[in-house]
Amino acid sequence: MATPSPDLILELMEGFRRSQAMFATLALGVFDHLKGRPADAKSLADGTGTEPEALERLLDACVGLGLLAKKSGAYSNLPIADVYLCVSSPETLAGYALYSHRALYALWGHLEDAVREGSARWKQTFGFDGSLFSHFFRTDEARRNFLMGMHGFGLLSSPRVLQAFDLSRFKCLVDLGGGTGQLAIAACRLHPALGAVVFDLAPALEIAREYVGQAGLAGRIELRAGDFFVDPFPEADLYALGRILHDWSETKVRTLLAKAFHALPAGGGILVAERLLEEDKASPLPALLQSLNMLVCTEGKERTLGEYSGLLHEAGFTEVQGKRTGGPLDAVLGLKGW
């Protein structure tokens, strides 16, 4: 047997270097400094408070990564950096990248212990008990960065999730844990007769108010504060749970699904947006890695369509469909019988 190539092992060994180069460049504000104005390493170092030669190494690495261009000693953003790594861009993923940089990277450093003990690593990593949400809602800046991260990710995933099924018969959508309101905004744009409610903790709604207003949908999207584990759900014929169920244990998932079922009218539905594992749980890789991510930072996990179907049927939903969207999140629709 021929000796296998070591290329995959070498690539995996060095993978963190690529992400950390991007994260550091983002955290230093380089991409925003370069938006629309090329600059050399010296002027960028002056503007970012960094050492010029060290910054030049980082900038050259970003050229190699395909994030920056370099011409006659001047650096500029490539379009992908302008769109997704500048904080000011409407489609930015900067918030999610910073969340990955400042929290997930550190949590993943304790993956071995998470596997040994089967629990999240917040206490070990940051020295406090509590959930992901208690950490990222500690300060206004932390809350905004986390929610903006979810917003950018949602811009990529929500349109495909909403188009996975014919939702035109529903009149009112409530997005449970709806964050910045991006799914409700996308749904209202897709279905002009639809009304929506973003149901989330009060601090999250401060940011949702900005986006709903900018979208010109304040008259169609209501913002209502509440904790979906504690407070009654707003009335609706369609509930959405986008990147919510994977945060929680089976017991808490059952609680949320049963609560949604009992609040829905006959013929109502529940739309779940998550990464779906294949039934043998051996693929796809993004869902497998996300399930490990849930291990280090929550009490939840990614699931198969069969597992979601079982949970939805157990809650009382009589018809369950699942679709792979080709985007970052897949879609599951459960219907309550007449």
Spatial separation of the C-alpha atoms in residues 267 and 188, rounded to whole Å: 20
Q: Catalytic annotation on 135? A: no
Spatial separation of the C-alpha atoms in residues 189 and 167, rounded to whole Å: 13
User: Choosing from 135, 246, 262, 313, which is the catalytic residue?
Assistant: 246
Tell the burial category of 157 from Cβ atoms under 10 Å away from its Cβ (0-12, 13-18, 19+): buried
Spatial separation of the C-alpha atoms in residues 236 and 172, rounded to whole Å: 5
Cα-based distances in Å from 16 to 13, 174, 288: 7, 38, 17
Is-contact 68 74, C-beta < 8 A? no
Q: What is the largest CA-CA distance in the chain?
A: 69
Structure tokens at 97: 């990248």
Spatial separation of the C-alpha atoms in residues 107 and 109, rounded to whole Å: 5
Spatial separation of the C-alpha atoms in residues 152 and 135, rounded to whole Å: 20
At residue 87, what are phi and psi to the nearest 5 degrees? -60, -35
Report the catalytic residues. 246
